[in-house]
């Protein structure tokens, strides 16, 4: 799972926190291995739930640091990415998804970006499969409206 | 699965497909640049961090808000390494290939082998341990130029090849631990030079400064700096204390578990503290009375030092069937190191005796300050 979790954290958090988040998550996985679901189909979601928790902590810490840093430093951090490479695309995707409410964004990240099944997403988010589907439906509608509001309606499909 | 469940899954799958289509059309699912893919080095670092956390947690460095396994120290680290491998490479044991490809060469013992220990064919270690206790007790008092305990060791830990998601080797790690009088501590771990192909440590590995992996600073009262002075020298009282340290394990279940508990507690002291010789002697006396501790004979440890090897069989129900070997100096009675020999493990696909972990003690002394080595 290491490669796919790295990709997931990179998409949602950026390269500077990938190593820490993934490592800390795996340490928690090791410590809590006795709590892991016996059903292998649920374990992946369980691991992603831990990763999301660590990711949220890391992002909160980063935001805190950015708030206390000077605007110049914050700008420099943002400008580290080369607009011409795929990292800029990842950052743009993150910006758009961050416009979604937390619950919907979580479901979208796990179902679409991580490729988890509905049951795995439900395990990760500790909710029902029905709730996951509902969040995805709402997210799709909201995303379409957000994209339209940004003048990207010509691309909207579905 | 009911028809309602199937219908629900279909709806969810359609929703995900529609979302993916929408997001793809708007470039919201960009590919991850190849340079950010996990490399073998990334995976190595990840495993090293897990092992460091496991070690730090075991010595009390990390608050543990959740239940943790209660096992004797070295066995726990073995389990940690195996668990880390399983977690990182995937949950299916079937994806873990033959682990013996990267295993250290087994040491040889004059009087038997780990398989004989497991099968009960190895002789009792009573006489050997009694002699070792006498030797330790006869040592001159240890100098204490300072009040900080310093213990250093070298060991091999599993490494995973991230690209191939396979276990490829065991790599050496140097661990240094300082315990100050107030119970604060520092632990550093760094990769050492590779072992020689014959399984012996390079003599320059300890001096290598390459590859510092971690430094953990523990606040005051994190560890018990007075433990080795406080533990009783009377074997019966010491045995009681050691068994209490293993509380949570089924030490009373049978001889194998009792030996596992005692050896685990002994190692948790000797591998982390600068133990006085009289305490070490008392420890060997305690183990001499244990029928579960068997004699393997003389050997040469991975630092090239002569040693006497004793071992305990796998505890009843141990799924990895691992024999724990302790190597003790016949000239000083001090612990030289430990070896874990896994006889068979479904998770690691081991079906012949394989060294899955070892620790070679290189220093156990008192120094003037944390960070100093003399």
pLDDT digits (tens, 9 = 90+) for A69-96: 333 333 333 333 444 456 788 888 888 8
Q: Tell me the CATH class for A1-86.
A: mainly alpha
User: How distant is the Cα of B149 from the closest Cα of chain A, in angstroms?
Assistant: 28
Give the DSSP letter of residue B29.
S
Residue A51 has pLDDT above 70, yes or no: yes
Please state the pTM of the whole predicted model: 0.51
Instruction: Look at residue B55 in the predicted model and tell me its pLDDT.
Output: 53
Rounded to whole angstroms, what are the CA distances from B92 to A40, B85, B166, B349?
A: 9, 11, 12, 12
Backbone φ, ψ for residue B31 (5° rounding): -75, 155
Rounded to whole angstroms, what are the CA distances from A29 to A9, A50, B42, B308?
A: 16, 7, 18, 38
Task: In whole angstroms, give the CA distance from residue A143 to residue A60.
Answer: 24
The alpha carbon dihedral of B71, B73, B79, B83 has a sign of positive
Instruction: Look at residue B12 in the predicted model and tell me its pLDDT.
Output: 79
In SS3 terms, B64-100 reads as CCCCCCCCCHHHHHHHHHHHHHHHHHCCCHHHCCCHH
Instruction: Look at residue B38 in the predicted model and tell me its pLDDT.
Output: 72
Instruction: Report yes or no: B328 and B132 within 8 Å, Cβ to Cβ.
Output: yes
Task: In whole angstroms, give the CA distance from residue B71 to residue B73.
Answer: 6
Q: Tokens for B154?
A: 């070298």
Residue A134 has pLDDT above 50, yes or no: yes
Instruction: Look at residue B10 in the predicted model and tell me its pLDDT.
Output: 73
Instruction: Look at residue B328 in the predicted model and tell me its pLDDT.
Output: 96
Instruction: Look at residue B309 in the predicted model and tell me its pLDDT.
Output: 96
A7 touching B (Cβ < 8 Å): yes
Closest Cβ opposite residue A30 in set B30, B87, B160: B87
Closest Cβ opposite residue A93 in set B28, B36, B69: B28
Mean pLDDT computed over A106-121 = 88
Q: Sort out which chain A residues have CB atoms less than 8 A from B53's CB and list them.
A: 27, 30
Q: Tokens for B235?
A: 């074997």
Instruction: Look at residue B33 in the predicted model and tell me its pLDDT.
Output: 77
Q: Delimit the domains of chain B by residue range.
A: 114-367
Could you state, in chain order, the average pLDDT of each consecutive group of 10 residues for chain B (374 residues)? 62 85 86 74 67 53 26 30 34 28 74 93 95 94 89 69 38 83 88 46 39 72 91 96 87 91 94 94 97 93 88 86 94 93 78 84 91 84
Residue A26: closest C-alpha in chain B: B50
Task: In whole angstroms, give the CA distance from residue B52 to residue A24.
Answer: 11
Closest Cβ opposite residue B54 in set A19, A30, A157: A30
Q: Where are the alpha helices (DSSP H) in chain B?
A: 3-25, 40-58, 73-89, 114-119, 126-137, 227-230, 235-245, 255-270, 277-288
Answer whether A112 sits within 8 Å of B29, measured CB to CB: yes
Instruction: Report yes or no: B168 and B159 within 8 Å, Cβ to Cβ.
Output: yes
Which of B259, B243, B325 lies closest to B292, judged by CA? B259
Largest CA-CA distance found in chain B, in angstroms, rounded: 79
Answer whether A33 sits within 8 Å of B87, measured CB to CB: yes
Instruction: Look at residue B50 in the predicted model and tell me its pLDDT.
Output: 67
Answer whether B22 sits within 8 Å of A15, measured CB to CB: no
Instruction: Look at residue B302 in the predicted model and tell me its pLDDT.
Output: 83
Closest Cβ opposite residue A158 in set B21, B38, B45: B21
CB pairs under 8 A between A and B: 145
Q: Tokens for A142?
A: 């909201």
User: How distant is the Cα of A135 from the closest Cα of chain B, in angstroms?
Assistant: 10
Angle of helix B277-288 relative to helix B255-270, nearest 10 degrees, comes to 170
Largest CA-CA distance found in chain A, in angstroms, rounded: 50
Task: In whole angstroms, give the CA distance from residue B329 to residue B305.
Answer: 8
The region that residue B311 occupies, defined by phi over 0 for left and psi between -120 and 50 for alpha, beta otherwise, is: beta
**Percentage of residues of chain A with pLDDT beyond 90:** 2
Task: In whole angstroms, give the CA distance from residue B280 to residue B284.
Answer: 6
Q: Sort out which chain B residues have CB atoms less than 8 A from A84's CB and list them.
A: none
Backbone φ, ψ for residue B126 (5° rounding): -55, -50
Interface test with A, best of B5, B32, B47, B77 (most A CBs within 10 A): B32
Instruction: Look at residue B148 in the predicted model and tell me its pLDDT.
Output: 95
Q: What is the mean pLDDT of chain A?
A: 75
Task: In whole angstroms, give the CA distance from residue B279 to residue B333.
Answer: 11
Instruction: Look at residue B232 in the predicted model and tell me its pLDDT.
Output: 96
Give the DSSP letter of residue B145.
S
Task: In whole angstroms, give the CA distance from residue A102 to residue A87.
Answer: 23
Q: Which residues of A, range 57-76, sit inside 8 Å of B by Cβ?
A: none
Instruction: Look at residue A34 in the predicted model and tell me its pLDDT.
Output: 79
Instruction: Look at residue B236 in the predicted model and tell me its pLDDT.
Output: 96
A1 touching B (Cβ < 8 Å): yes
Beta partners for residue B311, in sequence order: B294, B325
The region that residue B200 occupies, defined by phi over 0 for left and psi between -120 and 50 for alpha, beta otherwise, is: beta
Task: In whole angstroms, give the CA distance from residue A7 to residue B161.
Answer: 17
Task: In whole angstroms, give the CA distance from residue A48 to residue B355.
Answer: 33
Answer whether B19 sits within 8 Å of A40, measured CB to CB: no
User: How distant is the Cα of B344 from the closest Cα of chain A, in angstroms?
Assistant: 22
Residue B91: closest C-alpha in chain A: A40
Q: Position of tokens 């059309």?
A: B25
Which residues have a Cβ under 8 Å from the Cβ of B347 and sit 6 or more positions away?
Answer: B82, B86, B93, B96, B319, B320
Beta partners for residue B158, in sequence order: B170
Q: What is the CATH number of domain A99-157?
A: 1.10.10.10
Beta partners for residue B312, in sequence order: B324
Instruction: Report yes or no: A139 and A110 within 8 Å, Cβ to Cβ.
Output: no
ipTM summary value = 0.76
């Amino acid at each position: 799972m290491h490669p796919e979790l790295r990709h997931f954290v990179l998409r949602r958090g950026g390269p500077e926190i990938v190593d820490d988040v993934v490592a800390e998550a795996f340490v928690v996985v090791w410590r809590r291995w006795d709590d892991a679901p016996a059903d292998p189909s649920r374990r992946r979601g369980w691991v992603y739930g831990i990763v999301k928790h660590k990711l949220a902590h890391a992002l909160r810490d980063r935001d805190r640091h950015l708030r206390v840093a000077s605007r110049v430093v914050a700008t420099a951090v943002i400008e580290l990415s080369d607009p011409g490479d795929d990292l800029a695309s990842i950052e743009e995707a993150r910006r758009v998804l961050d416009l979604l409410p937390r619950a919907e964004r979580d479901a979208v990240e796990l179902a679409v970006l991580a490729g988890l099944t509905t049951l795995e997403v439900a395990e990760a988010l500790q909710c029902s499969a029905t709730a996951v589907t509902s969040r995805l439906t709402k997210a799709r509608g909201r995303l379409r409206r957000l994209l339209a509001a940004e003048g990207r309606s010509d691309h909207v499909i579905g | 699965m009911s028809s309602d469940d199937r219908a629900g899954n279909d709806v969810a799958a359609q929703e995900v497909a529609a979302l993916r289509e929408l997001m793809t059309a708007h470039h919201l699912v960009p590919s991850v640049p190849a340079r950010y893919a996990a490399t073998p080095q990334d995976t190595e670092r990840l495993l090293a961090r897990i092992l460091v956390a496991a070690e730090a947690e075991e010595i009390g460095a990390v608050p543990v808000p959740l239940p943790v396994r209660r096992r004797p120290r070295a066995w726990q680290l073995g389990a940690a390494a195996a668990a880390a491998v399983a977690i990182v490479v995937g949950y299916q044991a079937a994806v873990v290939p033959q682990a013996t490809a990267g295993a250290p060469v087994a040491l040889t013992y004059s009087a038997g082998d780990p398989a004989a220990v497991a099968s009960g064919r190895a002789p009792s270690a009573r006489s050997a341990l009694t002699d070792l206790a006498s030797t330790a007790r006869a040592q001159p008092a240890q100098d204490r130029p300072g009040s900080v305990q310093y213990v250093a060791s070298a060991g091999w830990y599993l490494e995973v090849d991230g690209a191939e998601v396979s276990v490829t080797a065991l790599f050496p790690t140097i661990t240094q631990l300082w315990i100050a009088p107030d119970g604060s501590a520092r632990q550093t771990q760094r990769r050492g030079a590779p072992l020689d192909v014959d399984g012996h440590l390079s003599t320059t590995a300890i001096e290598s400064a390459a590859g510092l992996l971690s430094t953990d600073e523990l606040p005051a009262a994190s560890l018990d700096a007075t433990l080795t002075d406080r533990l009783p020298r009377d074997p019966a009282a010491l045995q009681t204390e050691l068994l209490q340290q293993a509380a949570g394990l089924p030490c009373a279940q049978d001889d194998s578990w009792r030996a596992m508990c005692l050896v685990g507690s002994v190692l948790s002291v000797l591998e982390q503290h600068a133990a006085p010789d009289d305490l070490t002697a008392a420890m060997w006396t305690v183990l001499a009375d244990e029928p579960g501790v068997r004699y393997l004979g003389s050997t040469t440890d991975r630092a090239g030092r002569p040693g006497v090897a004793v071992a305990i069989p796998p505890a009843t129900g141990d799924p990895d069937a691992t024999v724990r070997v302790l190597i003790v100096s016949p000239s000083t009675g001090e612990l030289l190191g430990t070896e874990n020999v896994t006889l068979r493990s479904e998770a690691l696909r081991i079906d012949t005796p394989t060294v899955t972990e070892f620790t070679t003690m290189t220093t156990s002394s008192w120094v003037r300050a944390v960070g100093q080595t003399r």
